[in-house]
Amino acid sequence: MNTILITGGCGYIGSHTAIDLLEKGFNVISIDNLSRSKTFIADRIREISGKQFHNYRVDCRDLVKMRNIIDQHGKIDGIIHFAAFKSVGESVVKPLVYYENNINSTLNMLRIADEFHIPNFVFSSSCSVYGNTAQQPVKEDAPMATPESPYGWTKLISEQMIAAHAPNVQTKFIALRYFNPVGAHHGGRIGEIPYSEPENLVPNITQTAIGKKKGFTIFGTDYPTRDGSCIRDYVHVMDIAAAHTAALQYQLSGQQQVPFDVFNLGSGRGVTVLELIRAFERSTGVSLPFEIGPRRQGDVVAIYANTEKAMQSLHWHPTRSIEEMMHSAWTWEQTMQRESI
């Protein structure tokens, strides 16, 4: 049984990935300081998977504590590094917090992988590294534009650190560039827990639908798109989770031939903000009140993925529709309301 260390294992994507790994026979060690998650998530992971799961409440920036955890467990076959702050808007207001947290945690995980000879490393990256690119759909070799937010810069800088480090060590590295993960586990037991006021579109939609919010704002309908709203590539969080398992299996099987590789994770098609709202209304029967606001700093006009590389090399492809994504997010929102999460 391969043992995988996940940082941010109680976060949104980390928790879903932990379940996918456990259900596919991996042993999982989680490190999450719970600054952006809840203590009950570890219990839910055990409940859903039926497997042992423990989270160490430790900050990845604390190298001494990180080393102690690895020493306790012995051989680690791979790392998936999720732990990071991820709010675009917050990063614009608090850029130094994002640079300090996201970059230093990645730097420490690279040190851990090197010191303990951990052979495989999957990094949680983002399509934000492409900036406001003109190439659509975006391929992994697209020329990098300037990231539109400090959050995007932290992901790009982290990738640059990995790319510089990888040729000098035995560890194989993969960066998975997510587009827009949405939805929740089909059982409605875990999902995205908004940190303070929700910034992402889907939590705003579901909180409005259930009555926590009176409405929400669409930031700009004057973009050069088919209905004036921004275009994004939405992909179900469980499809994203499966891609991490696939990336590790690709590494463990010896198929990765280069020190550092990157893969896009998306649905491969662009959906406008207004189209996503209509998909929620169709899948739930709930009408949504919203207003139109000005463009938001840090938002790119349109971005969606070319996912051919992940499909060919990792044998991964997304399986869930926009309606399934929105319905699962709605089920999770109802769970949070019912359980006062």
| Phi, psi (rounded to 5 degrees) for 56 | -90, 125
Contact call for residues 216 and 292 (beta carbons, < 8 A):
no
234 is a catalytic site residue: no
Dihedral class, residue 197 (left if φ above 0, else alpha if ψ from -120 to 50, else beta): beta
**What values do phi and psi take at 238, rounded to 5?**
-75, -30
What phi and psi values does residue 287 have, to the nearest 5 degrees?
-90, 145
Nearest to 31 by CA among 67, 74, 75, 77: 67
Which one is catalytic: 12, 130, 151, 223?
A: 151
Q: H helices then E strands: how many in the chain?
A: 12, 13
Q: What is the DSSP letter of 131?
A: -
Question: How many Å apart are CA 139 and CA 133, to the nearest integer?
Answer: 11
Residues forming the active site: 151
